[in-house]
Amino acid sequence: MSVTIKDVSSHANVSIKTVSRVINNEKNVAEATRSKVLASIKKLGFTPNKSAQSLRSKRSYIIALLYDNPNKSYLADIQNGILQVCKKTGYNLVLQECDYKNKNLSNSIINFVEDLKIDGLIVIPPLSDMDDFLYKLGHANIHYSIITPSNKKFSSLYVSSNDYDATYQMTEKIISFGHKKIGFIKGDGMHSASNLRFNGFINAIDDYSLERNFDWIIQGDFSFESGFQAGEKIFSSAEHPTAIFASNDSMAAGVMKSAQMKKILVPNKLSIVGFDDTPTAEQVWPSLSTVKQPVIEMALHAAKLLIGEFDGLTEETVSKEFKSEIIIRESLKKLK
């Protein structure tokens, strides 16, 4: 049927073990032997049997993505990035949905990893914010790579984003457009990003000596509905802001709806800014100005880091921070 190591070894006239050495990039193989074997591998179109490798070496060549109810578009981008690395390195990706409220989550994940002999995990928000969970994974000797960790001490493998700086810069941009009365809608407190984004906003406000008006600073939970409710609150206050910065696009769309229903013209009377650049941001009218994290690249890097732990990728891959891009669309306008 399919080509095995044995076929390769007789074709190249070496031992089975030597072929194995070449496959696994082990040292102590003479250059001439190595190339001879590689030629045979290519000629015969050999690919190692994953099950056999896995059975013997106790590695599955599977990594898992842990997630809990993320934005669908975010999840798709994350997967996309990871898959690019998997394809190159011969790993497979398994998806594992989690419930972060489950008290027993760490145990069930540890079981999952041991059952399937999962080589490593990639963890995304909000699970990446759960210190206790990450601690237990580490304690069980599980490898994982974190995307936007709240606390970098739990793994040496992570990719972070500059949420604080990006929000600060976007706030500066709003201010540079002449806005002095700016509202803010916070995200779900469970996500560490919520605090980073709020801090970026409030520090910019302070640094430019603008007013902190707590009638316009509303707690949301990243949902469209919470954005809408925030809008209702803000627009029922005595004075209205001229711009509102929401911690994500869904809430921004919610605020926009609330404003439009009250005939507050966006962007002429009110500028609105979101965060994340989801597909919705382009499809609402007026289109949303927003902040775009390079999610695909971040996921790609996180996967490289993790797989590099096992395969020792030659390419230099270290944990690093990615910069977000500020996207100005119709919803943010200069104040006349």
Partner DNA sequence: TAGAAAATAGATATCGTTGTCAAAGAATGT
Partner DNA sequence: ACATTCTTTGACAACGATATCTATTTTCTA
3-class secondary structure for 45-68?
A: CCCCCHHHHHHHHCCCCEEEEEEC
16 contact choice in DNA, a copy of itself, none (CB below 5 to 8 Å, kind-dependent): DNA
What minimum distance in Å lies between the beta carbon of 138 and a copy of itself?
20
Instruction: Tell whether residue 265 is a contact of a copy of itself (CB under 8 A).
Output: no
Check residue 79 for interaction with a copy of itself (CB under 8 A): yes
Nearer to DNA, 16 or 265 (CB): 16
Return the number of the residue (16 or 39) whose C-beta is nearest DNA.
16
Residue with Cβ nearer DNA (46 or 67): 46
In the complex, minimum distance from the CB of residue 258 to DNA, in angstroms, rounded to a whole number: 58
In the complex, minimum distance from the CB of residue 199 to a copy of itself, in angstroms, rounded to a whole number: 27
> Interface mask (CB under 8 A) for a copy of itself, residues 159-178, using x and -?
--------------------
Select 22 or 66, whichever has its Cβ closest to DNA: 22
Q: What are the Cα distances from residue 230, in Å, to 223, 287, 305? A: 11, 20, 40
Q: Does 97 bind a copy of itself (CB under 8 A)?
A: yes
- Residue (37 or 256) nearer to DNA, CB: 37
Minimum Å gap between C-beta 115 and a copy of itself is 5
Q: Among residue numbers 229 through 258, which ones bind a copy of itself (CB under 8 A)? A: 250, 253-254, 256-257
DSSP assignment, residue 90? T
- 28 touches, from DNA, a copy of itself, none (C-beta below 5 to 8 Å by class): DNA
Q: Phi, psi (5° rounding) for residue 120?
A: -170, 170
Residue 308 Cα distances to 45, 56, 63, 162, 216, angstroms: 25, 21, 12, 24, 46
Residue 51 is a binding residue for a copy of itself (CB under 8 A): yes
Q: Which of 95, 189, 237, 321 binds a copy of itself (CB under 8 A)?
A: 95
- The contacts of residue 282 (CB under 8 Å, 6+ apart) are 288, 329
Residues 64, 121: contact at Cβ < 8 Å? yes
From the list 187, 204, 190, 282, the residue with the least C-alpha distance to 243 is 204
Q: Tell me the three state secondary structure of residue 140.
A: coil
Buried/exposed 142-156: b ≥16 CB within 10 Å, e otherwise: bbbbbbbbbeeebbe
Instruction: Kindly state the smallest distance separating residue 87's Cβ from DNA, in Å.
Output: 19
Minimum Å gap between C-beta 95 and a copy of itself is 6
132-151 footprint of a copy of itself as x/- string (CB under 8 A): --------------------
Cβ–Cβ < 8 Å for 90, 119 = no
Residues in contact with DNA by the rule CB under 7 A? 1-6, 13-21, 23-24, 27-30, 32-33, 46, 48-49, 52-53, 55-57
Dihedrals φ, ψ of 90, to 5°?
80, 15
Residue 146, H or E segment: strand 144-147
